Amino acid sequence: MNGELEEIREFLDHCPDLAPLPEASRDAFLRQLTLRYLREGTRFPPDAEPGLWIVRTGTLEIRDAHDTLHDRLGEGDLVHIPNTPSHPLGPVTEDALVYHLPLDRALELATRDSAIAQFLAADAPRPLATDRTAHGGHGDRSLLTTPVRALMTSDPILAVSTLSLHEAARLMDRADISALLLHTPERPGEPCGILTDTDLRRAVANGVDPGQPVAKSMASPLTTVERGTPAFEALLRMARHDIHHLPVVHEADGTLAGILSSTDLIRHQGTSAVYLVRDLRRADDLAGLQGVMQALPQLQVQLVEAGADATQLTQTVTTVIDTLTQRLIELDERDRGPAPCAFAWLASGSQGRHEQTVFTDQDTALIIADHASPDADAWFAELARHVTAGLDACGIRACPGDVDPTHPDWRRPTADWAREMERVLHHPAPRDAMLATHYLDMRVIHGAAELFEPLRQQALEVGARHEALLSALADQARDLPAPLGFFRQFVLEDSGEHADTLDLKMRGLLPIVAMARVFALHAGSEARSTVERLRAAARAGVINETTADNLADAWLYIANLRARHQATQIRNGQAPDNALDPAGLSTLERSHLKTAFRLVNDARKTAL
Amino acid sequence: MVCPLHAAEWLRPPGHWRFCRARRQAARRAPPGPLRECMETPMPPASQPVAAGRFLAVDLETTGLDPEHDRILSMGWVAMEGPRIDLATADQRLVRAEGPVPEASAVIHRITDQRAANGVALDEALDALFRALAGRVMVAHHAALEIGFLEQACQRLYGVRPPLAIVDTLRLAETALRRAGQPIPAHGLRLHTLRARYNLPAYRAHDALFDAIAAGELFAALLSRQSPDGKLPLGRVLFRPAWLW
């Protein structure tokens, strides 16, 4: 007589991945399993054994050779490890008891039982991608193969729908979540609706009484996704329903397993930026850096495809370029010996504001500690030449306006910078407005931040009180070319390489950037990025909330359009730029873009 | 049959030599059948790495704790190849009752008189167990109970007390905890308490087969800590009565 393995059988019956396996075949399947205990911190699978693995307790991760997370497995999850030498491995993240169907036994079972053969064959098409593209496998973190469960947040907060809006908002604030799942008092544990930041905003905008139960403002019924669904499908579902959160349910019984947000998906794609940054840090000569940087355009394409918005995209690209800059400086110090005194490398312009795309140029400066030896400046001039040339070689074009520290104007000792900034910010001549904008956007990329930060603090304090500076900056913002002409037609460039196209940066983004800078300065805010500056200005009452929202939305819309435009160019093998042909836009996009431009025009008239 | 050992092995652990001699004597005295074959099957040397060790996790359910007066109700076992537990070998036997099952234990073991009557005779159950045990080291939690009952049953049925090579997961766990300087709470060495400590699932207790699987899993968990590479010599995990190994 054989012992009854009913407890294990019961467990397998509840594994969603085993559901296709017919009841009648399960005992035979179960009898061929072996049990393994895997200690936390060891590699999975043990001894790299191929076959079918089912997690009974504990958690595992599946990662490829680049340490990219493919899947996170917990109780009841199944993974098929193919018989290839390079199949992915991963750490056991919590002591685990696993069932293993070794490959030889699987084959034997398949020859004996056609139902099992079918089940095993159907499972096989879920292998984990192992071949990767030229650079560091940025292509294989595909949303197509990653299941939702690997990206979702487990144990989401579930609250009762009789809660008031105010209580719900407080709960979300305390838990720092952007969406709250709700259940009816009758059926706890079973989500019936969702309340998101957007719903809250809408409720406030419509003057809904915060004491009202949340049930009236929540979205219901819910669109859900199952744990095993590929992340890509989840993304499509979000896009189709125009939502940003999906409750994740167990396949077997439909009970709540987690929640997936569009941010989770983007963060997943964002890991490729993490790899780019890591590879930059590891490169130890210019050729190495150049090789890594070739992947940057592809990163932008991926982020756009994954639905990243322009804020996330530009912050990511800026981080990569910051790292490149740091590494170039480190390498130069390695080659020529350490700097003769403390210094900081500064970036202004879009890099300073964290708003770079792959189509960008250098706006940089150097600040050097006072009382350096007389020949120190020669050392820093050399550094400036090496770093700017290195950036240029890596695809970040040298600044056409000569804003770079190979010029003595942009390479000064601290005291000299202090005098210069005071001059420009206190008594700006009209032509100094451009300098002032650079000074206000400057950020320390590398080196001794303490050299520069006090200067910026002081400049901001002075600037906020200085009508002359504010008006110079406001003039500058007003003087930027208008995006819309008579009859609300787009103003197209009339000559040159980009004739008959729309310069999204010059006509769309820079006017908003310039306005945000003035408002933020007036508000005494230290923020550098445009959206943050607008929010800070609204909080300080410099502009009203509507203006801030409108401008931020317009910035985001135009920046998104530019990111998509550049991604398309990169995919088509063209060099990315800011020149958009409006004829290529859909009617809806054209109308949105015009709306965005009109908001900019209106704000320029009313707020400046 | 002589234990096939290298000459050096003969000289090194005198315990092993004594163990082999005791097995040979038991084999001579036992009647022909699985017990004798089990005693004749050579055991691996104590120097063998645990990862290559062949084990049989065993659990006995009994009417009480005293081998002299209490009886075996059921036996469960599952084979292990190193740390791998092979469910294909999982097996159990209910032992036919020779008298009424005392009420208290019946409640615990869910074995009613009725079910016990459906079991097999004790010698038949023992035959199955010793067939599975041939060439394997027995793994049990608090092995003294299993040893006591098996020796008593064999003595009664076959006139011989078989020397068994045994891993006691309770002793192993106790040593591991003491070595780690961890206090051992009351009941801290019970099978289900230890299993929870190692993140093993909670099985319904007191089913001989699942207790055997449970002990095997606990052994695998302990091995994963005491010998992550599996190279620890077998002799280091064996439970040794004074005369053995």
| A36 → closest Cβ in B84, B93, B201 | B84
Cβ atoms within 10 A of the Cβ of B154, count?
20
Q: Which domain holds residue B34?
A: 13-237
| B201 → closest Cβ in A1, A56, A100 | A56
Asked whether residue B186 is assigned to any structural domain, the reply reads: yes
User: Is A34 close to B84, i.e. CB distance below 8 A?
Assistant: yes
pLDDT digits (tens, 9 = 90+) for A242-253: 788 999 998 878
Asked whether residue A270 is assigned to any structural domain, the reply reads: no
User: Is B90 close to A3, i.e. CB distance below 8 A?
Assistant: yes
Task: Compute the nearest-CA separation of B164 from chain A (Å).
Answer: 23
Task: Compute the nearest-CA separation of B10 from chain A (Å).
Answer: 33
User: Is A2 close to B90, i.e. CB distance below 8 A?
Assistant: yes
CB A500, CB A581: distance < 8 Å: yes
Asked whether residue B158 is assigned to any structural domain, the reply reads: yes
Task: Compute the nearest-CA separation of B234 from chain A (Å).
Answer: 19
**Whether residues A123 and A25 fall in one domain:** yes
User: Is A31 close to B88, i.e. CB distance below 8 A?
Assistant: yes
- Looking at residue A498, its pLDDT comes to 75
Task: Compute the nearest-CA separation of A27 from chain B (Å).
Answer: 10
Buried b / exposed e over A572-604, threshold 16 CB at 10 Å, is: eeeebbbbbeeeebeeeeeebbbebbebbeebb
Label residue A133 left, alpha or beta by phi (over 0 means left) and psi (-120 to 50 means alpha): beta
* Substitution target from A11, A12, A37 for chain B, most B beta carbons within 10 A: A37
Task: Compute the nearest-CA separation of B220 from chain A (Å).
Answer: 6
Q: What is the CATH number of the domain that holds B58?
A: 3.30.420.10
ipTM value = 0.88
**Whether residues A324 and A448 fall in one domain:** yes
Q: What is the CATH number of the domain that holds A445?
A: 3.30.460.10
Asked whether residue A469 is assigned to any structural domain, the reply reads: no
Cα dihedral A212, A262, A312, A583, rounded to 10, equals: -100
Q: How many CB pairs under 8 A join A and B?
A: 76
Asked whether residue B6 is assigned to any structural domain, the reply reads: no
Asked whether residue A136 is assigned to any structural domain, the reply reads: no
Asked whether residue B2 is assigned to any structural domain, the reply reads: no
Lowest mean pLDDT among A343-347, A357-361, A488-492, B134-138: A488-492
What is the pLDDT tens value at each position of chain B, 245 positions in all? Answer: 334 333 334 334 566 778 888 889 999 999 999 999 999 998 888 888 999 999 999 999 988 889 988 889 899 999 999 999 999 999 999 888 766 666 666 666 666 665 656 789 999 999 999 999 999 999 999 998 999 999 999 999 999 999 988 999 999 999 888 888 888 887 888 888 899 889 999 886 568 999 999 999 999 999 999 888 889 988 888 886 544 44
Cα nearest neighbour of B128 on chain A: A1
**Whether residues A250 and A362 fall in one domain:** no
**Whether residues A390 and A242 fall in one domain:** no
| A37 → closest Cβ in B83, B88, B91 | B83
pLDDT digits (tens, 9 = 90+) for A195-207: 998 889 888 888 8
Total domains in chain B come to 1
Asked whether residue A293 is assigned to any structural domain, the reply reads: yes
> What residue type is A92 in one-letter code?
V
CB A496, CB A415: distance < 8 Å: no
Q: Of A97, A128, A159, which residue is a domain's last? A: A128
Total domains in chain A come to 4
**Whether residues A408 and A360 fall in one domain:** yes
Mean pLDDT for A162-186 is 91
**Whether residues A447 and A525 fall in one domain:** no
Chain B residues closer than 8 Å to A34 by CB = 84-87
**Whether residues A295 and A435 fall in one domain:** yes
CB B167, CB B143: distance < 8 Å: yes
**Whether residues A180 and A108 fall in one domain:** no
Asked whether residue A304 is assigned to any structural domain, the reply reads: yes
**CA atoms of B33 and B39, how far apart (whole Å):** 10
The contacts of residue A372 (CB under 8 Å, 6+ apart) are A340, A341, A413
Mean pLDDT for A44-71 is 82
Strands A51-63 and A78-81: antiparallel
Q: Of A265, A293, A324, which residue is a domain's last? A: A265
Q: Which residue has the higher pLDDT, A486 or B121?
A: B121
**Whether residues A366 and A506 fall in one domain:** no
The token pair at A298 is 């592809």
Cα nearest neighbour of A38 on chain B: B224
Q: Is the pLDDT of residue A569 over 70?
A: yes
Chain A residues closer than 8 Å to B201 by CB = 11, 56-57, 97
Confidence of residue A63 (pLDDT cuts 50, 70, 90): confident
The contacts of residue A92 (CB under 8 Å, 6+ apart) are A38, A39, A40, A41, A42, A43, A44, A58, A59, A60
Q: What is the CATH number of the domain that holds A17?
A: 2.60.120.10
**Whether residues A488 and A346 fall in one domain:** no
CB A344, CB A449: distance < 8 Å: yes
Asked whether residue B41 is assigned to any structural domain, the reply reads: yes
Asked whether residue B29 is assigned to any structural domain, the reply reads: yes
* Substitution target from B199, B222, B227 for chain A, most A beta carbons within 10 A: B199
Q: Which domain holds residue A348?
A: 283-458
Asked whether residue A188 is assigned to any structural domain, the reply reads: yes
User: Is A97 close to B209, i.e. CB distance below 8 A?
Assistant: no
Task: Compute the nearest-CA separation of B57 from chain A (Å).
Answer: 13
Which residues of A lie inside 8 Å of B (Cβ-Cβ)?
A: 1-5, 7-8, 11, 30-39, 42, 56-58, 94-97, 100
**Whether residues A53 and A181 fall in one domain:** no
Confidence of residue A183 (pLDDT cuts 50, 70, 90): very high
**Whether residues A411 and A513 fall in one domain:** no
Chain B residues closer than 8 Å to A7 by CB = 203-204, 210
Asked whether residue A143 is assigned to any structural domain, the reply reads: no
Chain A residues closer than 8 Å to B203 by CB = 7
Asked whether residue B245 is assigned to any structural domain, the reply reads: no
Instruction: Reply yes or no: is the peptide bond before residue A221 cis, omega within 30 of 0.
Output: yes
DSSP reduced 3-state for B94: strand
* Substitution target from B55, B56, B61, B85 for chain A, most A beta carbons within 10 A: B85
Confidence of residue A181 (pLDDT cuts 50, 70, 90): very high
Chain A residues closer than 8 Å to B86 by CB = 34-35
Mean pLDDT for A542-547 is 89
| B228 → closest Cβ in A4, A42, A94 | A42
Can you tell me which residue has the tokens 């008092």?
A185
> Where would I find the beta strands (DSSP E) of A386-486?
411-413, 443-447
- Looking at residue A139, its pLDDT comes to 38
* Substitution target from A14, A26, A34 for chain B, most B beta carbons within 10 A: A34
Cα nearest neighbour of B125 on chain A: A1
Cα nearest neighbour of B219 on chain A: A37
